[in-house]
Amino acid sequence: MITRTNFRATIVPAMGLCGLLLMGVALSGCEQSPPPPMPTREEPQTALGKSAKMGRDIAGSIEGASQQAAGAAAALGAGTTIDVQGLVFPIPAGWQRTNPASPMRVAQFAVNTDATMYFTQFPAGQGGDVASNINRWAGMVRDPSTNEPAKFASTPRALANGVRLTMFDSSGTFIEGMPGQTGTPRPNFRFVGAIFEAPGGGRVFARMTGPDTTIEAALNDWNALINGATIK
């Protein structure tokens, strides 16, 4: 026979067990929920009110855009032209525009990776006459056996548009460097050039130098550049 006192003693532990079970379910449910996000740490602000991270992101974006633009500008495609003192030249596809090695150069291009082509210009009455420049160019290419100026070909002619032109071509040891300085000998090189009598009496000089084999492979592009010159 169960007395009132014993009944209470029996029920209380049972209720306590149910409570513990319910608390366990509640706790297990809480463990399955994702923890709340941790607060982010703000970076120190600059004087302009932008975070250091934002500044780095902006700088990275600008640098990336600059590199893409430089790459797009360097790889020239069909239809690219350049205006030099009123003469417009078609630049062959694939030539890479580079930074001029001298402030006297209007534009400079890398041709087949190891040859260089560039333009210079002079207004009327400056830069010397055609014959003087041809002789100066001839002195820049040496015969490797005698160290004397190498043989060269010089051909004056006129383009279809009436522009007078003198062509130059010589092979040997090319003395690379600025006038008045000790040059660097480049054996087995070839130097091709052209002097245009530009509109208004000025002159435009086009030059391409590089290893014999490279220049030979680029002659079709070179001739297209020279013969394709038009008056603006």
Domain ranges of the chain: 77-231
Q: Is the model's pLDDT at 35 over the cut of 60?
A: no
Give the integer Cα–Cα distance in Å for 127 and 195: 11
> What is the mean pLDDT of the segment spanning 36-63?
48
- Confidence band, pLDDT 50/70/90 cuts, at residue 83: very high
Of 24-28, 107-111, 154-158, 203-207, the range with the lowest mean pLDDT is 24-28
> What is the mean pLDDT of the segment spanning 88-116?
95
CA distances from 24 to 16, 20, 27, 224 (A): 12, 6, 5, 87
More confident residue, 142 or 42: 142
pLDDT confidence of residue 4: 40
> What number of residues does the chain have?
232
Q: Is the model's pLDDT at 110 over the cut of 70?
A: yes
Helix, strand, coil percent values for the chain (each to nearest 5):
35, 35, 30
C-beta of residue 195 within 8 angstroms of C-beta of residue 52: no
- Confidence band, pLDDT 50/70/90 cuts, at residue 1: very low
- Average pLDDT of the residues of the chain: 77
pLDDT confidence of residue 232: 87
- Confidence band, pLDDT 50/70/90 cuts, at residue 162: confident
Q: Is the model's pLDDT at 225 over the cut of 80?
A: yes
CATH number at 77-231: 3.40.1000.10
More confident residue, 62 or 168: 168
pLDDT confidence of residue 76: 58
Give the integer Cα–Cα distance in Å for 21 and 11: 16
Q: Strand 141-142 and strand 81-84: pairing?
A: unpaired
Residues 6+ apart with CB under 8 A from 119: 82, 84, 89, 105, 106, 107, 108, 204, 205, 206
pLDDT confidence of residue 143: 96
Give the integer Cα–Cα distance in Å for 208 and 102: 15
pLDDT confidence of residue 68: 41
> What is the mean pLDDT of the segment spanning 91-107?
95
Closest CA to 88 of 210, 196, 221: 196
pLDDT confidence of residue 191: 98
Is the pTM higher than 0.75? The answer reads no
pLDDT confidence of residue 160: 85
